[in-house]
């Protein structure tokens, strides 16, 4: 069996769905952050796979994936910082209890 474009895309879709499920359903803010990382990486796989199979000469997809990783790192750092700040003031990281931004 040769691994083709479809396999990468299916893998990416599966990873994205798992990540999305985690982001929507988990209550722990840290787990949600992890799920977001999974979703980002699923997108990265798609970018690299498409770049490799569709436009093999121009390396746009790969370059873009590097950017995503950079942003994801920054985002993770920021997210964790926020979560720690919230934990310090409210002693919880349960997103259902962090609901002050409403009417």
Partner 1 sequence: MASQLVWLIFLLPFLSFAVISLVVRPFLNGSARLSGYIAIAAIGGSLALSLLVLQEVIRAPGHELLIPRVTWVVIGTTELDLGLLVDSLTAVMLVVVSGVSLLVQIYSQGYMHGDAGYSRYFAFMSLFTGSMLGLVMADNLLQLFVFWEGVGLCSYLLIGFWFHRPSAANAAKKAFIVTRAGDFGLLVAILALYASSQAGTLNIKELHLLAETGALGGTFLTWAAIGIFAGAAGKSAQFPLHTWLPDAMEGPTPVSSLIHAATMVAAGVFLVARMFPLFEHSSQALATVAVIGAFTAIFAATMGLVAPDIKRVIAYSTISQLGYMMLGLGMGSVAAGIFHLFNHAFFKCLLFLGAGSVNHATGTFDMRQMGGLRRRMPWTFFTFVIASLSLAGIWPLSGFWSKDEILAVAFQGNFILFLLALATVFMTAFYSFRVIFLTFAGSYRGGASAGAGHGSQGDGHGAPSLHESPAVMVVPMVALSVMAIISGWFNLGGEFSGFLGEKAHPLGFFGALANPLALLSLGVAVAGIVAAYGVYGARWVSAEGLGRAFAPLYNVFIHKYWLDELYETVFVRWFLYTFIFGLMELFDTYIVDGLVNGAASLALGGGRALRRLQTGQLQAYGMAIFLGVLALGLIMVLIR
Contact residues for partner 1 (CB under 8 A)?
20, 23-25, 32, 95-96, 98-103
CB of 32 to partner 1, least distance (A): 8
| Separation of alpha carbons 35 and 14, rounded Å | 13
| Of residues 59 and 76, the one with the C-beta less far from partner 1 | 76
CB of 98 to partner 1, least distance (A): 7
User: Which residues neighbour 33 within 8 Å (Cβ) at sequence distance 6 or greater?
Assistant: 76, 79, 80, 83
CB of 96 to partner 1, least distance (A): 7
How many CA atoms lie less than 13 Å away from 64 in the CB half-sphere? Answer: 16
């Amino acid at each position: 069996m040769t691994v083709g474009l479809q396999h990468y895309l299916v893998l990416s879709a599966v990873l994205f769905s798992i990540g999305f499920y985690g982001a929507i359903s988990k209550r722990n803010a840290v787990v949600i952050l992890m799920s977001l990382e999974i979703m980002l990486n699923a997108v990265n796989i798609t970018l690299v796979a498409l770049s490799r199979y569709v436009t093999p000469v121009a390396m746009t997809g790969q370059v873009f994936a590097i950017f995503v990783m950079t942003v994801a790192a920054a985002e993770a750092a920021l997210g964790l910082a926020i979560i720690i700040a919230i934990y310090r003031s409210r002693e919880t990281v349960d997103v259902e209890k962090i609901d002050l931004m409403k009417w």
